[in-house]
Amino acid sequence: MNADDEAGRALLCQCLVSISMADGELDGREIATIVTIVEQATGNGISADDVVVASIELGDWEDFRNSLSVLAKPLEKAFRLQILKACILVGRADSMMIDAEIERIYGVAEALSFNRMETDEQFKVIK
């Protein structure tokens, strides 16, 4: 699974949706940002409808984070890092990142096997 295949695109989209849903809703700016990020990261577009479907199918945050930990084990570090960076970008889609989004990003990062220091470094790079 990587950014070039359908399963990788779906996983990236789910991670981004999980960050965007931290405040309990998925707004138009977040959907547009997710569509753009997935297209830039994978070279393949997704629709706004795909993002909405991913939000419906996401389910419980803790269940998703636990399944992400399992799915992430065989992923190349470059793809895991790409997912983390994309999560930070989508978190910054609004003018201010809320605490719930920050904590979700740290949760995704942990599931992707990044420690807090590595995640903090990405926060510094992506402003």
The domain 6-125: what is its CATH number? 1.10.3680.10
pLDDT tens per residue across span 56-110: 999 999 999 999 999 999 999 999 999 999 999 999 887 788 999 999 999 999 9
CB-based contacts of 17, cutoff 8 Å, min separation 6: 26, 34, 51, 54, 55, 58
pTM above the 0.85 mark? yes
Contacts of 73 (CB under 8 A, 6+ apart): 113
